[in-house]
Structure 1
Amino acid sequence: MFGRLAGKVCVVNGAASLIGRAVADRFADEGAVVVGVDKVSHSVGGQAVRADLTDEDAVAGMYREVVRDHGRLDVIYNNVGLMGPGDRSIFEMTLQTWRDAQDANLTSIFLACKHGIPHLRETEPSGGSVINAASFLAAVGSATAPMAYAAAKAGVVQLSRDLGVHLARSGVRVNAVLFGPIETPQQRELLQRDPSALDKRMVHWPMGRFGTLDEAAATIAFLASDDAGFITGAAIPLDGGITEAFTVPE
């Protein structure tokens, strides 16, 4: 299966995270030229770029640089997101927490699509794939959800759906991925601040485990490839069945 992205130029936004790095590595294994982008210094990808993904001028300039250096653009993976410590019920969060969540989780993807997709359309032959990181929280209601994050990720799903339909005949595909719990130290730390939190959540995870970084990267690589050529405007669950099942303890 390897080599599906041979010759393609792929931008990974939010590359410095563990998931971003895993996806960048998988893209490279599949033969892609990988440009890793993040607001912090990093060394992810064949070309590592530092840019604030909420700054419109920086995002537009980054894509111009990629096309200038590599002559084309084929894939954009937007692995961006922020779940702030003050993000709880709207009755408890500040307006600044809400705005920060929208900027980090939705505005960044809006800018990446606005300024990246025109380059996909200009590449010969025109077309390509955009994959936007969302969350299973965009598909369910939750009494304990970080509400600003969940609302922003629901916006990502709708933006992906609209763009997928709008661009369907141009050859550009746009899809969202509804991430569930992926095994990272940060994810475990978040869930284990309360000693019983992980056990409580695990009851509602049909597979009873975290997803792996390899599983996440493989899913993104599939959507980036021509093997997913008839999939667009979709919200693909990567959650071990969480949004599809009601479970109770055995």
Structure 2
Amino acid sequence: MINGAVGVIGQAVAERFSREGAVVVGVDKVEHSVGDRSMRADLADEPQVEAMYDAVVREHGRLDVIYNNMGLMDAGDHSALDTSLETWRRVQDANLTSIFLSCKHGIPYLRDTEPVGGSVINAASFLSALGSATAPMAYTAAKAAVVQLTRDLGVHLARSGIRVNAVLFGPIETPAQRAVFDRNPGALDKRLVHWPMGRFGTLDEAAGAIAFLASDDSGFLTAAALPLDGGITEAFTVPD
């Protein structure tokens, strides 16, 4: 199951899961055609999330993997000193509340699957592991909370066979990401200095990381935050 399936990373993961033989249910707030079964739901609305999971399990009989691909960067999200409460709440709902609700109502179905087990993967950001003077602070606070929620659930459920992990996404090349830099000439060059690999990650690499966490190959990995950032958070770099 892929929540937030319309995003390009969600679509890439859906394609990878399909190639691996999974029956993919794609969920998003807007009409779409991602997955073998496409559903529409507001993932920050608890009754809709609860009904969504109930419908999926009634139709397919089981649930094995939940990938929460939710993420929103808001144009009004800047420093905490000048971000409105309305923006703060909107960003928290999109990035944190939605994942909380998905875990709350999805994980019980993983417990009901025979044998008990499964994998939950939550989308977070490498920015949650750093202090940044220029970060959108509502977004980074929400993603840091996602990481902590992931840790707590991973430990809480560790003996049940249900694994919960997060991915700390770095710069993955998407049309939206590229457009940000195209609108700001020189901005990409300034950042590339601090990217050890000197490039964006690809959608295939992002989907591969999610597929690994969904698979039995990561069976001894839980409560972890996997950095998918080309080494950014581990590096101290200066211009040549």
TM-score of the pair, normalised by structure 2: 0.99
Q: Distance in 2 between matches of 1:27 and 1:229?
A: 17
Match of 2:74 in 1: 84
Match of 1:124 in 2: 114
Match of 2:196 in 1: 206
SS of 1:33's partner is: coil
SS of 2:198's partner is: coil
Superposition deviation, residue 189 in structure 1: 1.1
Match of 1:217 in 2: 207
SS of 2:39's partner is: strand
Q: Identify which of 94, 99, 105 aligns with 2:95.
A: 105
TM-score of the pair, normalised by structure 1: 0.95
Map of 1:36-51 to 2, 5 A cutoff? Answer: 36-51=26-41
Q: Identify which of 137, 151, 158 aligns with 1:161.
A: 151
Q: Identify which of 10, 15, 27 aligns with 1:20.
A: 10
AA paired with 2:3? N
Kindly indicate whether residue 49 of structure 2 is the aligned counterpart of residue 59 of structure 1: yes
Q: Identify which of 217, 222, 225 aligns with 1:232.
A: 222
Q: Distance in 2 between matches of 1:180 and 1:246?
A: 16
Q: Distance in 2 between matches of 1:191 and 1:145?
A: 15
Q: Distance in 1 between matches of 2:96 and 2:65?
A: 19
Unaligned runs of 5+ in 2: none
Match of 1:8 in 2: none
Superposition deviation, residue 73 in structure 1: 0.2
Q: Distance in 2 between matches of 1:42 and 1:169?
A: 37
Kindly indicate whether residue 111 of structure 2 is the aligned counterpart of residue 145 of structure 1: no
Q: Distance in 1 between matches of 2:136 and 2:188?
A: 16
Superposition deviation, residue 62 in structure 1: 0.5
AA paired with 1:41? E
Q: Distance in 2 between matches of 1:96 and 1:193?
A: 26
Superposition deviation, residue 191 in structure 1: 2.7
SS of 1:36's partner is: strand
Cα deviation 1:88-126 (Å, max 9, x = unaligned): 111121111111110000000000000000000000001
Q: Distance in 2 between matches of 1:109 and 1:202?
A: 31
Q: Distance in 1 between matches of 2:202 and 2:30?
A: 24
Cα deviation 1:135-166 (Å, max 9, x = unaligned): 00000000100000000000000000000000
Superposition deviation, residue 192 in structure 1: 3.0
Kindly indicate whether residue 60 of structure 2 is the aligned counterpart of residue 31 of structure 1: no
Q: Which runs of 4+ in 1 moved over 3 A?
A: none
Q: Identify which of 100, 104, 115 aligns with 1:114.
A: 104
Superposition deviation, residue 248 in structure 1: 1.0
Q: Distance in 1 between matches of 2:194 and 2:91?
A: 26
